[in-house]
């Protein structure tokens, strides 16, 4: 292996830069050249490719976002788009590709792998919804951003004795909602993986009220419904007035936490190790604090599971 490529794709996540740095430096340390592909699969199709040196990744470990920029690319979902990408890789004599991103990015890596071009997937998404890893790069930072918002909202909720609904990201996965809700002491957490019962929620609010508790925090993952829609439903069921905060893309930014930087450094380096060993078509992850790797084609068929025990615990602790 003499030359590898690297790209970031899909929604950016804090810690992607630390992962890029790890890939570039680990590879160069082992005598491998690294080419950065800008703007995800879009840039791959259009040949936005440049050589990265040790200094290219200096001073980025603490920065959110991705220095390689990112995009969602419809064209790469087609066989034609994938072929254009492979031509660009061949033109630049790139022998393998490290893809940092979430589910859509992994689909691209899987497609390339199935067409004979070796890729290694590194899980980078705030959603924490990639199978084969306990944590994805960016989740911890996003979680702490949401927690900071919950704590601040709790101050004003308590002063005004209000119920607040906080809408967080997570179209298909409830991890951000569940972990932040548990850490922030939310009264109710709605996640896409579990149905909710409005009567139960209403009862919980009323019983809190009866024992003198005048404010509540409800976390809604965007994949369930919008915070505003839920506020309307709650008003109809309970006549409670609420305030809604939609945290939005603030959750994707910011300096990565120590935990995300360490995770990104370990996973990025692991991806290069696999390529040095001649193993392409893999997805790296961390399980029980051990680095692991799986066949990227097989692992994508396995659904990510939210921690149902934690969900149950959140209910028991918010009586
Ligand atoms: O996949 C990460 C994520 O932030 C999701 O939580 C969210 O639903 C989506 O990306 C938003 O995507 P976009 O920035 O393209 O609107």
- What whole-number distance in Å separates Cα of residue 264 and Cα of residue 262? 5
Residues 6+ apart with CB under 8 A from 22: 264, 265, 266, 267, 268, 269, 272
Cβ atoms of 254 and 64 closer than 8 Å: yes
Tens of pLDDT, residue by residue over 256-285, are: 999 999 999 999 999 999 999 999 999 999
Q: Residue 318 pLDDT > 90, yes or no? A: no
Alpha carbon of 293 to ligand 1 centroid (Å): 25
**pLDDT (0 to 100) of residue 319:** 80
Q: Which of 8, 11, 73, 139 to mutate for ligand 1's pocket (most ligand atoms within 8 Å of CB)? A: 11
Phi-psi map region of 175: left, alpha, beta (phi>0 left; psi -120 to 50 alpha): alpha
For the residues 56-69, what does the mean pLDDT come to? 98
Residues 6+ apart with CB under 8 A from 308: 193, 194
The sign of the dihedral angle between the CA atoms of 119, 34, 24, 11 is negative
Tell me the whole-structure pTM to 2 decimals. Answer: 0.97
For tokens 């909202």, the residue is 153
Helix, strand or coil for residue 5?
A: strand
Alpha carbon of 168 to ligand 1 centroid (Å): 11
**pLDDT (0 to 100) of residue 214:** 85
Tens of pLDDT, residue by residue over 211-223, are: 898 899 999 999 9
For the residues 144-151, what does the mean pLDDT come to? 98
Cβ atoms of 179 and 135 closer than 8 Å: no
For tokens 């508790």, the residue is 213
Tens of pLDDT, residue by residue over 116-139, are: 999 999 999 999 999 999 999 999
**pLDDT (0 to 100) of residue 155:** 96
- What whole-number distance in Å separates Cα of residue 254 and Cα of residue 47? 29
Tens of pLDDT, residue by residue over 96-114, are: 999 999 999 999 999 999 9
Cβ atoms of 230 and 165 closer than 8 Å: yes
Q: Which of 12, 59, 103, 127 is catalytic?
A: 127
Find residue 246's DSSP bridge partners: 167
Q: Residue 165 pLDDT > 90, yes or no? A: yes
Q: 161: how many CB neighbours lie within 10 A of its CB?
A: 11
Q: Is 127 labeled as catalytic in the residue annotation?
A: yes
For the residues 23-48, what does the mean pLDDT come to? 98
For the residues 200-227, what does the mean pLDDT come to? 93
**pLDDT (0 to 100) of residue 207:** 86
- Which of ligand 1's atoms lies nearest the C-alpha of 222? 8
Tens of pLDDT, residue by residue over 277-315, are: 999 999 999 999 999 999 999 999 898 899 999 999 999
- Which of ligand 1's atoms lies nearest the C-alpha of 171? 8
Domains of the chain and any CATH numbers? 3-138+256-299 (3.40.50.450), 140-253 (3.40.50.460)
């Amino acid at each position: 292996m003499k030359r590898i490529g690297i790209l970031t794709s899909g929604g950016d996540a804090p810690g992607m830069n630390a992962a890029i740095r790890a890939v570039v430096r680990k590879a160069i340390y082992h005598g491998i050249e690294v080419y950065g592909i800008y703007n995800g699969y879009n840039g791959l199709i259009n040949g936005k490719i440049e050589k990265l040196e040790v200094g290219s990744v200096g001073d980025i470990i603490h920065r959110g976002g991705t220095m390689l920029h990112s995009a969602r690319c419809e064209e790469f979902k087609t066989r034609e788009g994938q072929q254009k990408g492979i031509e660009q890789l061949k033109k630049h004599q790139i022998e393998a590709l490290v893809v940092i991103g979430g589910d859509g990015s992994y689909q691209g890596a899987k497609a390339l792998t199935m067409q004979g071009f070796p890729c290694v997937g590194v899980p980078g998404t705030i959603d924490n919804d990639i199978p084969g890893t306990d944590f994805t790069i960016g989740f911890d930072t996003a979680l702490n951003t949401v927690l900071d918002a919950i704590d601040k909202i709790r101050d004003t909720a308590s002063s005004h004795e209000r119920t607040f609904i906080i809408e967080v990201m997570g179209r298909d996965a409830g991890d951000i909602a569940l972990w932040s809700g548990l850490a922030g002491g939310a009264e109710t957490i709605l996640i896409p993986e579990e149905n909710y019962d409005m009567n139960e929620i209403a009862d919980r609010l009323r019983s809190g009220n009866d024992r003198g508790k005048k404010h509540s925090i409800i976390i809604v993952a965007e994949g369930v419904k919008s915070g505003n829609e839920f506020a309307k439903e709650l008003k109809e069921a309970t006549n409670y007035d609420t305030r809604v905060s939609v945290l939005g893309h603030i959750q994707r930014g910011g300096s990565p936490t120590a935990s995300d930087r360490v995770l990104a450094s370990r996973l990025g380096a692991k991806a290069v190790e696999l390529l040095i060993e001649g193993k392409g078509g893999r997805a790296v992850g961390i399980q029980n604090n051990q680095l692991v790797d799986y066949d990227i084609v097989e692992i994508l068929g396995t659904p990510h599971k939210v921690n149902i025990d934690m969900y149950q615990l959140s209910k028991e602790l918010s009586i």
